[in-house]
Amino acid sequence: MRIRAETIIPAKKKTPVLCAFCFEDTNVPIGLERLDKKIDQTILESVRENKGKKNSIAIIHSHKELPSEKILIAGIGKKNQITSDVIRDVVGNVTKKINELGIKEFSIIVPEKILNDNDQVISSIVEGANLSLYHFDLFKKEKYNKKESDLTLLTSNDKSQKIIKNSIIISDAVKFTRDVANLPPNECPPMKLGEIAKKIASQNKMKCTIFSKNEIKSKGLGGVTAVGQGSKNEPKFIILEYRNGKKEQKPILLVGKAVTFDTGGISLKPGEKMDEMKFDKCGGCTVLGIMKAIAELKLTINVVAVIPSVENMPSGEAFRPGDIIKLFNGKTAEILNTDAEGRLILADGIAYGIKHYQPSSVMDFATLTGACIVALGTNVAGIVSNNTKFVSKIKTASSKTSEEIWELPINDDYMDMVKSKVADIRNIGMGRAAGTITAAAFLAHSVGNVPWVHFDIAGTAWIQPSTKNKSYNSHGATGFGVRLVVNYLMNQK
């Protein structure tokens, strides 16, 4: 959809639909305070009916009293409960409604001072509108190719053009992440992810390196080798380098788990919902989306992305419970469950990235543990870190973007839970205790002292039955993490 800004007074805007927000228990929608008397009456009546309840929509005709044909009043709930996410959600619903009605253009009156950060009102409107129309119809004969309605934002914010442009880049990157993550496993083996990475590298100023199965093995990436050896679809180790900061500035390292399908391997998963394990590549897809966004935003930073990609299959060549493998970090790992494969490829990705690029910090993203869903549900991602300052910056980005996170602890007691009797470490913890943390403890062996935040996105990467309904999310992958991390990176110098 096309989104632009205009400074015109709302009452003078000629548009098919003029949209205004209305708080619960207030009389007049924001921005429509000084209108013609006749219009005032009709607006007051519809406001009274809807009471400004969050996500209520009233459409009234302006009967030629105004240049706009219709007025849409969108309830945004209680004043003291307003957040950027209320705006995203409401605008998503409004955008869907307008598109259903086949209206060519609609204008939203941008309310001033309803959030602490005025610019964020605009970015939330753009994100809500752009993301709400997302459809994954690549494999359907009947395409969703309806012409999308155009949106005009009526605002006097002089930064509006820039905010709109950036928010479109970011929400398009979220849609890109969803598109890749939604690909079915037969259409998206590790090689395909490599091709996608190459494409975004060539479209932007990025270097892309991809290691083949043999290179992965000869470089000592033992975790990736072991997990990938059971599948005909060979593993790929994907590296993207974006360098637009000072030469001497150390890069930020992003690592994403990209298991294109996780059957569990020899420790086979139960059949129920196994299809959802096509989403086990979501960590890698999030990293791809972040890279695309920062390159298009031309951020003046250096970032390296490492995406180890494998298919975890049972076969005559597959790795087994009982195997002892050597990871890139030099440590031996006893395999006790081949379904705990994500930490093996991530441990390699993190150690390789740290050794070869000496990053200033590391973030990794993975649909790593079912335990994270048990602990936090499907609306909040788990994070584990070795650096409180880093976490506090990530929490700020989380609250700005409404991508919710919750920090879980890590200490030596958890580290002890992944010690092995026959190797340096083991790939599962002790029974069902603290499954998300013991997975992170396994990764910590690759991290050392570099400031690190691990994101377990098992619950938030795609829509599950207990996922909260949001108008800007739709069936399938959510692209969780892209907005949060891009927001964090935009505030890095």
Per CB under 6 A, residues contacting ligand BES are: 262, 280, 337, 339-342, 367-371, 428, 435, 458
**Catalytic residue (one of 236, 343, 470, 483):** 343
Full DSSP string of 450-466: S-EEEEE-TTTSB--TT
User: 122 touches which of ligand BES, Zn ion, none (CB within 5 to 8 A by kind)?
Assistant: none
Q: What does 24 bind: ligand BES, Zn ion, none (CB cut-off 5 to 8 Å by kind)?
A: none
What is the amino acid identity at position 275?
A: D
As a whole number of angstroms, the distance between CA 404 and CA 395 comes to 8
Between CA 202 and CA 204 the distance in angstroms is 5
From the CB of 463, what's the least distance to ligand BES, in Å?
A: 12
| Alpha carbons 312 and 316: distance in angstroms, whole number | 13
428 binds, among ligand BES, Zn ion, none (CB under 5 to 8 A by kind): ligand BES
3-state secondary structure of 477: strand
Structure tokens at 258: 């990209």
CB of 357 to Zn ion, least distance (A): 25
- Of the two residues 5 and 344, which places its CB atom closer to ligand BES in the complex? 344
Q: Does 339 help bind Zn ion (rule: CB under 5 A)?
A: yes
Cβ-based neighbours of 138, under 8 Å, separated by 6 or more: 179, 182, 183
- We find the least distance from the C-beta atom of residue 408 to ligand BES, in angstroms, to be 14
* Sign of the C-alpha dihedral computed for residues 156, 159, 165 and 170 taken in this order: negative
CA atoms 291, 294, 296, 299: torsion sign: negative
Residue nearer to Zn ion on the CB measure, 308 or 359: 308
Nearer to Zn ion by C-beta: 342 or 382? 342
Give the N- to C-terminal CA distance of the chain in Å, as an integer. Answer: 31
Query: Pairing between strand 405-407 and 236-243?
Result: unpaired
Q: Residue 337 binds which entry of ligand BES, Zn ion, none, with Cβ cut-offs from 5 to 8 Å by kind?
A: ligand BES
Query: Token pair of 301, please?
Result: 């930073």
Tokens of 2: 């096309």
| Min dist. Cβ of residue 242 to Zn ion (A) | 27
- Minimum Å gap between C-beta 371 and Zn ion is 12
Return the structure tokens found at 219: 């470089």
185 binds Zn ion (CB under 5 A): no
Phi/psi of residue 70, each to 5°? -130, 160
Decide whether 303 or 371 has the Cβ nearer to ligand BES: 371
Query: Which does residue 369 touch among Zn ion, ligand BES, none (CB within 5 to 8 A, set by kind)?
Result: ligand BES
Q: Of residues 241, 262, 296, 311, which one binds Zn ion by CB under 5 A?
A: 262
Q: How far apart are CA 442 and CA 427, in angstroms?
A: 7
List the catalytic residue out of 269, 326, 393, 395: 269
Structure tokens at 285: 């897809």
456 binds Zn ion (CB under 5 A): no
Contact 436, 457 (CB under 8 A): no
Considering only 342, 349, 435, 476, the residue that binds Zn ion (CB under 5 A) is: 342
Known active-site residue 269: yes
Between 241 and 280, CB nearer to Zn ion: 280
Give the number of other CB atoms < 10 A from CB of residue 297: 17
DSSP-assigned beta bridge partners for residue 305: 240, 254
Cβ-based nearer residue to Zn ion, 306 or 340: 340
Measured from the CB atom, the residue of 9 and 268 that comes closer to Zn ion is 268
Residues numbered 271 to 300 that lie near Zn ion (CB under 5 A) are 280
**Residue 371 contacts which entry, ligand BES, Zn ion, none (Cβ below 5-8 A, type-dependent):** ligand BES
Shortest Å distance, C-beta 404 to Zn ion: 22
Q: How far is the CB of 342 from Zn ion (least distance, A)?
A: 4
Eight-class DSSP state of 273: T
Binding residues (CB under 5 A) for Zn ion: these are: 259, 262, 280, 339, 341-342
Known catalytic residues are 269, 343
